Amino acid sequence: MTSTDRPWWRDAVVYQIYPRSFADANNDGTGDVQGMVERLDYLQSLGVNAVWVSPWYPSPMADGGYDVADYCDISPMFGTLDDADAFLACAHERGIRVLIDLVPNHCANTHPAFRAALSAGPGSPERSLFHFRDGSGPDGAEPPTNWGSLFGGSAWERVVGPDGPEQWYLHMFAPEQPDWNWANPAVAEFFDDVIRFWFDRGVDGLRVDVADGLAKDMDYPDTPIDPETGLGQATFYPGHPWWNRPELDAIQRHWRDIADSYAERGLGERIFVCESNVKPLDALMRFVEPGRMHTTFNFDMLWCEWEAGSLRAMIDRNLVAHAAIGAPTTWVLGNHDCTRVVTRYGKPETGKPFTLAGTPPEWLHRFAEYFYPLPTDAALGRRRARAAALLEFALPGPAYIYQGEELGLPEVEDLPDEVRDDPSFFRTNGRIAGRDGCRVPLPWSGTRSPYGFGVDAEPWLPQPAAWADLSVAAQDGDPDSTLSLYRHALAIRSAHPALGDGTLAWSDEVPGHVLYFTREPGFGCLVNLSAEPVPLPGGAQVLIASGPLEDGLVPTDTAVWLDLP
């Protein structure tokens, strides 16, 4: 198969836009769709093949837009459906595909269907669209099960009606995000219409939020108690009542049929990428079996420590598992949910995606994914993040860039509590730092906030005083900037016949804690993770390096792409 007849999604570079923080065209302090339209030339010059737009729907913003009040409209905060159509048209004119977020696990508590369910009362068809249950204990005053919310606290909220407290409803995330009941066929039908609404408008694909959590065990069994929280375990284990249940198979096959029907009618391809934290890898692979989803995020790279052996094992594990079923492996270094890669790699311990704030409570030792708020060496982190970007783009399969990664933006770790917005911060009494620090609006130009994000309106989250050198304008003409590195690397990636989809072969030619693989024809990628500089392989010419070489040697935490004889 040549690069021209290979499906685009098998090796696309996808740029994630978090609309609230991307570009503020109407100067109200919040990003918007018109801002996205105006920055499409930037994205084209960056060299991405597609964008994924985080939720742009009407939303009370209890969880940054992942609380959807209307699935078939655009939030007035961000613009209008006409703006969205313009964005789609302008992106497509530039050859950029558009993926948007589909949020099928839960809606906003202001969604008309949930409001109707609240007023219709127990036992009604309206309530059967959600998980309403009587409470346990005397007077039903205790939650129906011990399930814990992913954002902290119970996963059940009690309804208080005109006659006082009554049933409870399930929310795996914030109480403002009631879970849909996927055991009710009306829910599936509702989402069929939503999917078609956007596919008909020309959206090329959907990123499925919480794709592993839609189906629930309708016997509602308790989960094993975490002795330290007293709540049932919300993290995945085989047989969990809400993670990766067998019912997902039929849901995903049905969606795949809908997507395939567009290609069959000559309307172009439509695709899905799942957000899923399912483990082990074998279980995740079920999602991308033939007839199910096209791709699924693989967060292993994001979680992997910056260490040669771990990285190589992680890459191999994923390539082997995906190749066995013919699906491409996605590569992700960051997104709007985790601490930015520059900061993660600048910590004394790498390989943990989230930050704790304050004193961690005892029970959080169970959550291996959180690191303590240790000091960050930003220069070290940036050097490693640049090397990691070259590694990511050299691997076979689609690569995702979270907005601002191409600028080397660090996490904003010192946001004052009063500006924070993330429910996970509030629901853990500030013990988890939450995700605001990676969502700070982008710096485009100028020497002080709002750095061209808007004209002069104060951005919805404050930008650091030290971001002038990190703006797009500041990095634009600088050949050594992270932006130039990304542009150059993506240009090579798109032109080089060895890059994109395909296979790789490891080489041990360069000894030490080094990752070195080759791809045919004539390409090599070497990342030096050892403490000493290493030599280039024999006869290799450098195509691009993530940092300066020293006397022809590749320094520590540096990656090079090579033209091989």
Residues that bind ligand NOJ (CB under 6 A): 63-64, 66, 103, 173, 209-210, 275, 336-337
Q: Which is nearer to ligand NOJ, 63 or 300 (CB)?
A: 63
Q: Which is nearer to ligand NOJ, 301 or 536 (CB)?
A: 301
Q: Which is nearer to ligand NOJ, 336 or 344 (CB)?
A: 336
Element (H, E) at 52: strand 50-53
- Minimum separation from the CB atom of position 18 to ligand NOJ (A): 9
CA distance 343 to 341: 5
- Minimum separation from the CB atom of position 469 to ligand NOJ (A): 29
Supply the DSSP string of 282-328, one letter for each residue: HHHHGGGSTTS-SEE--THHHHS-S-HHHHHHHHHHHHHHHHHHTPP
- Minimum separation from the CB atom of position 100 to ligand NOJ (A): 13
CA distance 497 to 12: 14
User: What is the distance between the terminal CA atoms of the chain, rounded to a whole angstrom?
Assistant: 24
From 487, 458, 457, 482, select the one nearest 469 (Cα to Cα).
482
- The identity of residue 275, as a single letter, is E
CA distance 390 to 383: 11
**Taking the CB of residue 340, how many other CB atoms lie within 10 A of it?**
27
Q: Which is nearer to ligand NOJ, 58 or 547 (CB)?
A: 58
- Minimum separation from the CB atom of position 480 to ligand NOJ (A): 33
Q: Which is nearer to ligand NOJ, 172 or 387 (CB)?
A: 172
- The structure tokens 């005397």 sit at 138
- Minimum separation from the CB atom of position 411 to ligand NOJ (A): 16
- Minimum separation from the CB atom of position 174 to ligand NOJ (A): 8
Q: Which is nearer to ligand NOJ, 136 or 277 (CB)?
A: 277
Q: Which is nearer to ligand NOJ, 103 or 203 (CB)?
A: 103
CA distance 226 to 224: 6
- Angle at which helix 185-201 crosses helix 81-93, to 10 degrees, equals 50
Q: Which is nearer to ligand NOJ, 103 or 489 (CB)?
A: 103
Strand partners, 416: none
Pairing of β 514-519 and β 523-528: antiparallel
Coil, strand, or helix at residue 200?
helix
- Minimum separation from the CB atom of position 208 to ligand NOJ (A): 10
Q: Which is nearer to ligand NOJ, 64 or 397 (CB)?
A: 64
- Minimum separation from the CB atom of position 57 to ligand NOJ (A): 12
- The structure tokens 């308790």 sit at 222
- Minimum separation from the CB atom of position 64 to ligand NOJ (A): 6
- Minimum separation from the CB atom of position 172 to ligand NOJ (A): 8
- Minimum separation from the CB atom of position 322 to ligand NOJ (A): 22
> Residue with CB nearest ligand NOJ?
66
Work out whether the CA dihedral 44, 46, 52, 53 comes out positive or negative. Answer: negative
Q: Which is nearer to ligand NOJ, 11 or 67 (CB)?
A: 67
- Minimum separation from the CB atom of position 560 to ligand NOJ (A): 33
Coil, strand, or helix at residue 130?
strand
Q: Which is nearer to ligand NOJ, 204 or 337 (CB)?
A: 337
Work out whether the CA dihedral 150, 151, 153, 158 comes out positive or negative. Answer: negative
Whether 441 and 403 have beta carbons less than 8 Å apart is answered as no
Q: Left if phi > 0, otherwise alpha if psi is -120 to 50, otherwise beta: which for 73?
A: beta
- The identity of residue 495, as a single letter, is A
Burial status of residue 517 (CB atoms within 10 A of its CB: 0-12, 13-18, 19 or more)? buried
Q: Which is nearer to ligand NOJ, 9 or 18 (CB)?
A: 18
Q: Which is nearer to ligand NOJ, 176 or 204 (CB)?
A: 176
Q: Listing from the earlier edge strand, what are the strands of the sheet with 505-506?
A: 505-506, 514-519, 523-528, 558-563, 541-545
Q: Which is nearer to ligand NOJ, 179 or 557 (CB)?
A: 179
Print burial letters for 150-178: b (CB count within 10 Å at least 16), e (below 16): bbbbbbbbbbeeeeeebbbbbbbbbbbbb
Whether 215 and 243 have beta carbons less than 8 Å apart is answered as no
Burial status of residue 363 (CB atoms within 10 A of its CB: 0-12, 13-18, 19 or more)? middle
- Minimum separation from the CB atom of position 303 to ligand NOJ (A): 15
- Minimum separation from the CB atom of position 436 to ligand NOJ (A): 11
Q: Which is nearer to ligand NOJ, 66 or 236 (CB)?
A: 66
- Minimum separation from the CB atom of position 402 to ligand NOJ (A): 11
Element (H, E) at 118: helix 112-120
Strand partners, 371: 355
**Taking the CB of residue 258, how many other CB atoms lie within 10 A of it?**
15
Whether 524 and 517 have beta carbons less than 8 Å apart is answered as yes
